[in-house]
């Protein structure tokens, strides 16, 4: 007690950063304990646009695919393999699904889910002490964000095309599963 | 057996009769309490000391360039030997040199070399182990290891130089750990988050400086006050942002913080508080003038008013220093 009384200023000075660390930890982890997203979603991986055979979309709440028309007498790269996945928000994992199975799902293609969540890219902070404030969009990480909670997604992507630069093309949200 | 009150009364009498000085008293206290005052931050820096530190910086640069230029040709063992090995060796050379008063300054330089080179050695080890050594997670580990090392050194050897390194590596650990915890979470505004951390680190530095001002680590106080005030007032100033995105809370509270610093400069007799407080008061006057008065009054008139206000602030600062800080320090 005598030590605390004698060194109160030093102890307060040292505890301010520790309290901030605890506050940051609390603000990140605590809200996630009470607010959980409920709706799983369907996504496509493997760049279903220029290089693939089909393009996927939602019409009247159902998944449809349309063949990508190519001009004759033009040389194209062979079509890429495109895969459909369901993301289970409770288990935080992806599961591959066939087009035929996915056609049976009721989908909502709105950006924001019925329970108020959306999928966003994270930021990438870079730098070395004492310059930690540089940040930019990080195409390697996606989050489920809503109600002041963000949850990092553990997405499974089509392996053959996955690399640092084409992550943006490698994930496309299709719809929330109702 | 004399009582504590009797001793203190006797010291008062000796001080009144100018028989004993404050320095002699502190020296006697330190020798009795087992605290060895090291010369770090106490001894006046002369040409020889500057040359010592320049030499230390050149050694550090030499090691850095050696590893960088030969990164692909040097083996892991050699890289570790050159960086981590040099850092550990410099630490022990510092320990040996600081045992003798004649080589104590050179000892401090070797501690500096060790503090600069050892984290690079740890970086090499982490990089070889397959970690992304520049990531926030690895930076947290490296700064954490350095912090623990210097806290233990401080506990064992009780030297100011280890207090300073503990604070610096503790700050690095605080920043990298919080960055690692936040990661890429989209709810965090990185710039504001950085400024709040600078604010907190600044407040911690000021409080530690005040705590040290009353014990054997007093030489660190002015450094901590300066760094702390720069961080605290600088971050509060930046959080006020700029019109039209200004933050009214920080813009309104800011004069209170600056005048609080100026008031405290008298109370704790700190030139750092006065100087940094004056600089930021001037910066605030310029900011507010350009934000709110440049369009109504016009830039030329606004500049004249801001200039007059800054002359007034400068005069006030000079008067405070002359009246309250310099005189009280000489009493």
Q: What is the DSSP annotation of A27-82?
A: HHHHHHHH------EEEEES--SSSBSEEEEEETTEEEEEEPP--TT---PPPBP-
User: Count of alpha carbons within 13 Å of A160, Cβ hemisphere only?
Assistant: 7
pLDDT in tens, A8-51: 888 999 999 999 999 988 888 888 788 889 999 999 887 655 66
Least confident of A139-148, B91-100, B316-325: B316-325
Interatomic CA distance for residues A97 and A174, integer angstroms: 13
B294 pLDDT higher than 80: no
Establish if B183 touches chain A: CB-CB under 8 angstroms: yes
Burial of B100 (0-12, 13-18, 19+ CB in 10 A): exposed
Inter-chain contact B139–A129, Cβ cutoff 8 Å? yes
Establish if A33 touches chain B: CB-CB under 8 angstroms: no
Residues of B within 8 A of A24 (CB-CB) are: 178, 181-182
A141 to chain B nearest CA, in Å?
8
Backbone angles phi, psi at B124, to 5 degrees: -60, -45
B190 to chain A nearest CA, in Å?
6
pLDDT in tens, B216-239: 777 788 899 999 999 999 999 999
**Which segment, A139-143, B159-163, B300-304, B320-324, is predicted with the most confidence on average?**
B159-163
* pLDDT value at residue A162: 44
Establish if A118 touches chain B: CB-CB under 8 angstroms: no
Distance of CA B200 to the CA centre of its chain: 14
Query: Smallest Cα–Cα separation from B159: which of B101, B97, B98, B227?
Result: B98
Per-chain mean pLDDT for chain B: 85
Interatomic CA distance for residues A96 and A78, integer angstroms: 23
CA triple B260-B204-B119, angle to 5 deg? 145
Rg from Cα positions in chain A: 23
- Tokens 């009470």 found at: A34
Best of B204, B212, B227 to substitute, by most chain A Cβ atoms within 10 angstroms, is B204
Establish if A154 touches chain B: CB-CB under 8 angstroms: no
| Residue B46, H or E segment | none
């Amino acid at each position: 007690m005598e030590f605390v009384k004698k060194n109160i200023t030093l102890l307060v000075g040292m505890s301010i950063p520790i309290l901030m660390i605890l506050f940051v930890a609390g603000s990140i982890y605590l809200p996630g304990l009470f607010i959980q997203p409920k709706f799983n979603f369907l996504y496509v991986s493997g760049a279903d646009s220029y290089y693939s055979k089909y393009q996927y979309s939602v019409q009247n709440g159902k998944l449809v695919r349309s063949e990508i028309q190519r001009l004759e007498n033009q040389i194209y790269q062979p079509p890429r393999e495109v895969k459909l996945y369901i993301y289970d928000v409770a288990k935080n994992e992806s599961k591959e699904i066939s087009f035929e199975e996915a056609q049976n799902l009721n989908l909502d293609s709105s950006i924001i889910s019925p329970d108020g969540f959306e999928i966003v890219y994270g930021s990438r902070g870079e730098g070395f002490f004492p310059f930690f404030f540089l940040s930019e969009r990080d195409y390697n990480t996606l989050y489920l964000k809503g109600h002041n909670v963000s949850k990092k997604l553990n997405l499974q992507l089509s392996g053959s095309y996955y690399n640092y630069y084409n992550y943006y093309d490698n994930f496309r949200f299709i719809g929330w599963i109702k | 057996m004399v009582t504590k009150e009797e001793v203190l009364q006797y010291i008062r009498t000796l001080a009144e009769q100018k028989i004993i000085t404050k320095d002699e008293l502190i020296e006697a206290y330190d020798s009795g309490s087992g605290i060895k005052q090291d010369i770090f931050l106490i001894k006046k820096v002369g040409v020889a000391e500057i040359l010592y530190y320049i030499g230390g910086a050149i050694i550090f640069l030499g090691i850095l360039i050696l590893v960088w230029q030969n990164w692909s040709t040097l083996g892991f063992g050699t890289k570790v030997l050159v960086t981590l090995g040099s850092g550990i060796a410099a630490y022990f050379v510092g320990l040996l040199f600081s045992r003798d008063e004649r080589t104590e300054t050179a000892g401090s330089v070797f501690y500096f070399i060790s503090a600069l080179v050892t984290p690079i050695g740890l970086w090499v080890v982490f990089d070889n182990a397959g970690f992304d050594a520049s990531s926030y997670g690895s930076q947290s580990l490296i700064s954490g290891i350095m912090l623990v090392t210097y806290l233990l050194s401080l506990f064992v050897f009780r030297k100011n130089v280890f207090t300073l390194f503990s604070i610096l590596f503790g700050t690095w650990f605080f920043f990298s750990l919080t960055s690692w915890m936040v990661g890429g979470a989209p709810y965090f505004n990185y710039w504001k988050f950085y400024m709040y951390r600078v604010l907190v680190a600044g407040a911690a530095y000021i409080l530690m400086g005040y705590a040290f001002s009353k014990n054997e680590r007093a030489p660190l106080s002015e450094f901590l006050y300066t760094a702390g005030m720069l961080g605290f007032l600088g971050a509060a100033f930046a959080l006020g942002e700029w019109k039209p995105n200004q933050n009214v809370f920080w813009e309104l509270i800011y004069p209170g913080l600056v005048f609080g610093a100026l008031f405290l400069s008298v109370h704790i007799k700190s030139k750092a508080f006065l100087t940094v407080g004056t600089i930021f008061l001037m910066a605030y006057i310029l900011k507010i003038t350009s934000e709110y008065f440049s369009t109504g009054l016009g830039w030329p008139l606004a500049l004249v008013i801001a200039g007059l206000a800054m002359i007034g602030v400068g005069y006030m600062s000079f008067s405070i220093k002359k009246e309250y800080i310099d005189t009280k320090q000489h009493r």
